[in-house]
Amino acid sequence: MPETFDVIVIGAGPGGYVCAIRAAQLGLRVACVEKRETLGGTCLNIGCIPSKALLHSSEVFEETTHHLAEQGIIVGQVGLDLAKMQVRKGEVVSANVKGVEFLFKKNKVTWLKGEGRIVAPPGRADQETPGVVNVAGTDYAAKSIVIATGSESTPLRGVEVDEKRIVTSTGALELAEVPKSMVVIGGGVIGLELGSVWRRLGAEVTVVEFLDGILPGMDGEVRKQFERLLTKQGFKFRLKSKVTSAVADDTGVTLKVQPAAGGEAEELRADVVLLAIGRRPYVEALGLDAVGVALDERGRVKTDAHFATSIPGIYAIGDAITGAMLAHKAEDEGYALAEMLVGQKPHINYDAIPGVVYTWPEVAAVGATEEALKAAGVAYKVGKFPFTANGRARAMGATDGFVKILADKATDKVLGAHIIGPDAGTLIAEVALAIEFGASAEDVARTSHAHPSLNEAVKEAALAAWDKAVHI
């Protein structure tokens, strides 16, 4: 008889490990399968955490090199020890992944090490028959199986990744030298965050983007201002362009770039090319075909509103299913699914999930964009407040950007917020909470905000949406 659990979660990323811990907290016997040497998934090992460690270090480097003198701070020659910076990044990752291992022990979640394959779905003969998952040659049984296997970088025909000269985000986090030049294919979140890291450390960065602007899907005004600010920082953009081939040699990479609509190709040369045109669900090796779990047209596991797949007893969450590919979205789904498995009725408000680009300045959004409200025919009001009029931002010398709040014209209910500016990723949390609680712009505006704080820009934008800002 195989060892039996109530739940087997496959994948220990933010979706899977949170689901496993919450299920164990609720009294279930839980195992989590992970093939990587460490827990934490893409996010902790090769995504959110290492990228933020390098973003932080490179930001400190740039600040020290270029922006201290203007505050009257004189330092000597600033140098770069990239090897040390990379070691620190590794230590940050290590502390985080060990933290998850500690939490597994604390909550009595069993880590099954190796690649998991679903051999048989639960409830075959009768409601009670457990499903079977094979891990490294051993079978384990469970009443419920959760697919939390995440995503991988989307490939591009003609661009062969070697993770040295032609890299995905994984290789871009590991470079041992600062490239003189870097071409980034894709002006999305990864391209702009990791492009920022290497530009700050000294690379000339050119972004080739298929569409007519960067960060598609975000607020139009934010996208335009952000592109202007990044250009001022030294980014070069080739919009409405596509890369048709990239070939590496001993000294660099030769790329062919064409207008998106077709036309004459041009050659570009770069030391390193970062391919960042999106991510796709990773469900290989799970044996989904054999058990009959259905995928949608984009290769995502099909689920209903309760994360149930087409096969009873098998569930899926996180990057492997529809929706934003974000760590906190995966976590929220993992948490909610664990509660559903014990009969509780949690709810996720997908309109209140924030998205943040951790560049300088940061870009953050939650809820609807103006473009989406227009398309849906919703009557709305806009309140805007620039950081130039915020005392704290002035004191910090960080006045680029603004807060924009969208509220329903008739009810004043907050529908969305879009921020570009210092610490936008922290500021957006207040508006996410407002949306979650169904607050009005007036509610946000009448809430006391400490002075002098960056949050006052949110208050003033809410005032502007409701009636009139005071400080502009």
Work out the number of other CB atoms within 10 angstroms of the CB of residue 212. Answer: 10
Q: Between the CA of residue 455 and those of 10, 15, 427, 460, what are the distances in Å?
A: 40, 30, 6, 9
Q: How far is the CB of 358 from ligand FAD (least distance, A)?
A: 6
Residue 208 is a binding residue for ligand NAI (CB under 6 A): yes
Residue 13 is a binding residue for ligand NAI (CB under 6 A): no
1 annotated as belonging to a binding site for a ligand: no
Q: Which stretch binds ligand NAI (CB under 6 A): 62-70, 186-194, 231-239, 392-400?
A: 186-194
Counting Cα atoms < 13 Å in the Cβ hemisphere of 74 gives 0
Residue 96 is a binding residue for ligand FAD (CB under 6 A): no
Residue 325 is a binding residue for ligand NAI (CB under 6 A): yes
User: Which H helix or E strand runs over 6?
Assistant: strand 3-10
Among 21, 24, 33, 291, interactor with ligand FAD by CB under 6 A: 33
Q: Closer to ligand NAI by CB, 32 or 185: give it.
A: 185
67 is catalytic: no
Query: In the stretch 327-366, what mask flags binding to ligand FAD with x, by CB under 6 A?
Result: xx-x---------------------------x--------
Q: Which stretch binds ligand NAI (CB under 6 A): 76-84, 98-106, 123-131, 190-198?
A: 190-198
Query: In the stretch 17-46, what mask flags binding to ligand NAI with x, by CB under 6 A?
Result: ------------------------------
Q: How far is the CB of 154 from ligand NAI (least distance, A)?
A: 7
Among 219, 319, 332, 362, interactor with ligand FAD by CB under 6 A: 319
CA–CA separation, 87 and 13 (whole Å): 22
CB 52 within 8 A of CB 358: yes
CA–CA separation, 224 and 228 (whole Å): 6
CB 113 within 8 A of CB 135: yes
What is the DSSP-derived secondary structure letter of residue 70? G
Residues 235-294 that bind ligand NAI (CB under 6 A): 242-243, 276-279
Catalytic residue among 66, 67, 306, 451: 451
Among 235, 358, 360, 387, interactor with ligand NAI by CB under 6 A: 358
CB 380 within 8 A of CB 402: no
User: Using omega within 30 degrees of 0 as the cis cutoff, is the peptide bond preceding 179 cis?
Assistant: no
Closest residue to ligand NAI using C-beta atoms:
188
CA–CA separation, 170 and 186 (whole Å): 15
Range list of β-strands (E), 53-130: 110-113, 116-120
Q: Closer to ligand FAD by CB, 12 or 445: give it.
A: 12
Beta strands at 272-275 and 166-167: parallel, antiparallel or unpaired: parallel
**How many chain residues bind ligand FAD (CB under 6 A)?**
37
Distance of CA 334 to the CA centre of its chain: 16
What is the DSSP-derived secondary structure letter of residue 5? E
CA–CA separation, 452 and 257 (whole Å): 48
Q: How far is the CB of 269 from ligand NAI (least distance, A)?
A: 18
Amino acid at 445: A
282 binds, among ligand FAD, ligand NAI, none (CB under 5 to 8 A by kind): ligand FAD
User: Using omega within 30 degrees of 0 as the cis cutoff, is the peptide bond preceding 361 cis?
Assistant: yes
Q: How far is the CB of 11 from ligand FAD (least distance, A)?
A: 3
CA–CA separation, 416 and 418 (whole Å): 7
| Binding site feature residues | 52, 116, 149-151, 186-193, 209, 278, 319, 325-328
Enumerate binding residues for ligand FAD (CB under 6 A).
10-16, 33-36, 41-43, 47-48, 51, 115-116, 148-151, 169, 190, 282, 285-286, 318-320, 325-328, 330, 358
**Active site amino acids:** 451
